[in-house]
Structure 1
Amino acid sequence: MSKQLQDAYIVAATRTPIGRSHRGYLRQTRPDDLLAMALRAALAQVPGLDPAAIEDVVCGCAIPEAQQGLNVARVGAVLAGLPKSVGGITVNRFCASGLSAVQMAADRIRVGEADVMVAAGTESMSMVPMMGNSPSLSPAIFSNPDDLDRYGIAYGMGLTAEKVAQQWKVSREAQDEFAYRSHMKALAAMQAGEFGDEITPVTVEERELDLASAEVKVTPRTVSLDEGARADTTPEGLAKLRTVFAARGSVTAGNSSQTSDGAGALILASEAAVKRFNLQPLARFVSYASRGVPPHIMGIGPVEAIPAALRAGGLRQDDIAWIELNEAFAAQSLAVMNTLGLDPAKVNPMGGAIALGHPLGATGAIRSATVVHALRRKNLRYGMVTMCVGMGQGAAGIFERV
């Protein structure tokens, strides 16, 4: 006998600001500490909730090793001061890790296994390099250079973007224009205070060696906005940048996402928990889908995932009013938008990862917080988070304002 699924509601959603990796204001902040900050901030949004009611913390992380290893979900939960009864599990779907965390947390509630769950994501690209500290791919991957399904796994992300640009005929000019608009939209949203609902300011400590005294100077600093958006970005400046992945290519540092540091967290609850703790639902989790695509054109992944998520939710593409399409590269963003006919006005209205940054495994949770608050602020019904995924995948999740 089949059991009817129950609804999973988002009752809290927040994130840290996103910092530039290696030189930004979060570069010296550990990813487990970033996670703890996000968890505490999410809990502060639901003062009536008994933390002991939380069943589990599901945390996405794309490179779960070193400072973000050893099951960073559990580490972050302990650092955040959650009851020791609250479990923690770290999940990895590369760039969609944070979104998969939301899906897994929601599904535990939807099938009746839990009433309160936490979904999160954290990543420090300052402390842990994109491929990890000691990457080791199977030699079989390289056994046949003509087998793109295998060999494409070893492609650098930039080369996959070049492949997409070539196959979908996305020009350098179009990529640079898209990148410019990402920065301008992000700056306009910041000036209008549009990020205020989703970002919780955090205080970080900057350490600097004082050579005269041979002491480390510790300076606290409170940050409240993403630092990637550049007011000095111009189409002319972007056009002058050299390609970095292929000599005759079109993908540059300017039309690619920024490596970044950050974390996000959402609290999900069943209808029973909403009533028990007198919680205010922000949104309902509607559906999710992930699909595989050829690894050498991984950027096209949302083309397969978006229709699948829409079918799972019983929705049409026109029903979606706000779309957070992760801008891994302008080339793949434009290829996805053009192929599916996505309305540019609905896609990344406040800018995307080219301007705001892309802390890999955290991005799905961060952009979920963006959608949840944007739907309420703009009085819209359905929103979507979608992204391409390294090694050839796409993912999409849909939310409904309540």
Structure 2
Amino acid sequence: MRADAAPVIVAAARTPIGTAGHALKDVTVDQLAAPVLASLLLRAGVAAADVDEVLLGNCMGPGGNVARVSALAAGLPPSTPALTVDRQCASGLAAIDLAAQLVRNRAGVVLAGGAESASTAPWRFWPPEAGGEPVRYERAPFAPAPEDLDMGLANDLLAEEAGVTRERQDAYAARSHWLASSAREAGLLDQEIVPVGDVSRDERPRAGLTPARLSRLPAAFRPDGTVTAGNACGVSDGAAAVAVVSAEVHRRLDVPGLRVLASATTGVAASRPGRGLVPAVRLALERAGTSLEQLDAIELNEAFAGQVLACCDELGLDPDRVCTQGGALALGHPWGASGAVLVVRLFSQLLARGEGAVGLAAIAAGGGQGVAMVVESC
């Protein structure tokens, strides 16, 4: 597809990200998503009646088609269809990818992103065996046994196999907190945030978190492991979304935006899901006809410091180029929304750089998948 015919992201917004059980603990997933969707209409200058579809990623919500409930709560007309997407942690970016494909084929305007309220996610239980009691359903399987490892353990093993030391992980996590805290205090995140009640700032970033302080924390997933509560992301609540429009609609709106140059979805071994973004990045860059060296901004989801560093090492990417205003290690990881948060962050950074700036968003997902997207400011 010619660049001047590609889908364009013309607006991007997100809620503040709250630590589960804290600032946004009473806000349901649709109450997180609805104000973001409503804000996109105002930011893009698009009428609600002109939206062709709403796509939202979600992993742990109450069911009932979260995207549909959120769209109606945002004031979109009943005639607007909506679809909830589940590609685990990559759901939000997968929803934006699907939106771009819809726009390429038939739609003019699609709102897409993700939302997650870990705080209000319903508890589920396995049916009781004969004479027994129901057993709480802790999480869905990511893969058939024995490949179905908990995320912490899987990424601890990935870091070990990649030779990523505990010291590097703690230093990278401290960097993420420092960068995010600095960006927050400088007001660099304010424009993209839609307040939820009286919450208007990301809750988790801690400016005083140092490698020395992080080094005191015990291993979280195995006795001789290197992943800790300090160099892993936090369980979080939040929503993020973008407005994707056709090239024709973009010309009519005449506003700055991000042109979607290419995307890719790939799979890797389910027992090492954190690697999923590596082949996705390579394929998306190939499809976009560009390289890591030519990118102006890179947003990788920081699920675990060891996982991000292992992926950077495999890609030959300098970690100092990644998430230069902080990432999920500091901001938090609202699973279904996190991939969309990456695109919102690119929107803020690339439009500030001006026309022709190129960025990459990429995220790995449980079950061994990865999604990547290359965009260009226009």
Partner Cα separation in structure 1 for residue 190 and residue 343 of structure 2: 15
- Please point out which of 110, 116, 121 is paired with 1:117: 110
Query: What does residue 14 of structure 2 align with?
Result: 15
Partner Cα separation in structure 1 for residue 313 and residue 292 of structure 2: 14
Matched, 1:161 2:155: yes
98 and 137 in structure 1: CA distance in 2 versus 1, 3 angstrom threshold: closer
Matched, 1:103 2:97: yes
Q: Confirm or deny: 8 A CA contact 1:9 1:281 kept in the other structure.
A: no
Q: CA deviation at 1:135?
A: 5.7
Partner Cα separation in structure 1 for residue 320 and residue 138 of structure 2: 40
Matched, 1:387 2:360: no
Query: What does residue 94 of structure 1 align with?
Result: 88
Q: Confirm or deny: 8 A CA contact 1:6 1:109 kept in the other structure.
A: no
Query: What does residue 217 of structure 1 align with?
Result: none
265 and 395 in structure 1: CA distance in 2 versus 1, 3 angstrom threshold: same
316 and 136 in structure 1: CA distance in 2 versus 1, 3 angstrom threshold: closer
Q: What whole-Å deviation, never above 9, does each CA across 1:195-253 have from its counterpart, x for those lacking one? A: 122112221xxxxxxxxxxxxxxxxxx22211110123122211111111001111100
Matched, 1:39 2:40: no
Q: Which range is displaced more, 74-83 or 371-380?
A: 371-380
Report the residue type matching 2:317 in the other structure. Answer: L
Matched, 1:61 2:58: yes
Gaps of 5+ in 1: 143-150, 204-221
Partner Cα separation in structure 1 for residue 3 and residue 170 of structure 2: 48
Q: CA deviation at 1:137?
A: 6.4
Partner Cα separation in structure 2 for residue 130 and residue 357 of structure 1: 22
- Please point out which of 286, 292, 300 is paired with 1:311: 286
Report the residue type matching 1:294 in the other structure. Answer: A
- Please point out which of 109, 114, 127 is paired with 2:120: 127
What SS does structure 2 have at the residue aligned with 1:201?
A: coil
- Please point out which of 227, 234, 248 is paired with 2:224: 248
Q: What whole-Å deviation, never above 9, does each CA across 1:102-141 have from its counterpart, x for those lacking one? A: 1100111112x11111112000111227999636868x93
Partner Cα separation in structure 2 for residue 389 and residue 286 of structure 1: 22
Query: What does residue 309 of structure 2 align with?
Result: 334
Q: What whole-Å deviation, never above 9, does each CA across 1:253-278 have from its counterpart, x for those lacking one? A: 000011100001111111222344x3
Q: What whole-Å deviation, never above 9, does each CA across 1:34-92 have from its counterpart, x for those lacking one? A: 11011011112133x221111100111122x42xx110000000001111111100011
Q: Confirm or deny: 8 A CA contact 1:367 1:385 kept in the other structure.
A: yes
Partner Cα separation in structure 1 for residue 185 and residue 3 of structure 2: 45
Query: What does residue 275 of structure 2 align with?
Result: 300
Q: CA deviation at 1:281?
A: 3.4
- Counterparts in 2 of 1:172-251, with a 5 A limit? 172-203=166-197, 222-251=198-227
What SS does structure 1 have at the residue aligned with 2:255?
A: coil
Q: CA deviation at 1:290?
A: 1.2
172 and 4 in structure 1: CA distance in 2 versus 1, 3 angstrom threshold: closer
Q: What whole-Å deviation, never above 9, does each CA across 1:311-353 have from its counterpart, x for those lacking one? A: 1111122121111111110111000111111133321001111
347 and 4 in structure 1: CA distance in 2 versus 1, 3 angstrom threshold: closer
Partner Cα separation in structure 2 for residue 272 and residue 137 of structure 1: 42
Partner Cα separation in structure 2 for residue 169 and residue 129 of structure 1: 38
What SS does structure 1 have at the residue aligned with 2:319?
A: coil
Q: Confirm or deny: 8 A CA contact 2:4 2:247 kept in the other structure.
A: no
CA RMSD of aligned residues (A): 2.1
What SS does structure 1 have at the residue aligned with 2:337?
A: helix
Q: What is the aligned length? A: 366
Normalised by the length of structure 2, the TM-score is 0.92
Partner Cα separation in structure 1 for residue 223 and residue 186 of structure 2: 40
Normalised by the length of structure 1, the TM-score is 0.87
- Please point out which of 325, 332, 351 is paired with 2:300: 325
Q: CA deviation at 1:31?
A: 0.6
131 and 6 in structure 1: CA distance in 2 versus 1, 3 angstrom threshold: farther
Gaps of 5+ in 2: 126-135
Partner Cα separation in structure 2 for residue 293 and residue 80 of structure 1: 37
Partner Cα separation in structure 1 for residue 89 and residue 223 of structure 2: 26
% identical aligned pairs? 40
5 and 189 in structure 1: CA distance in 2 versus 1, 3 angstrom threshold: closer
Q: CA deviation at 1:361?
A: 0.7
Partner Cα separation in structure 2 for residue 9 and residue 281 of structure 1: 9
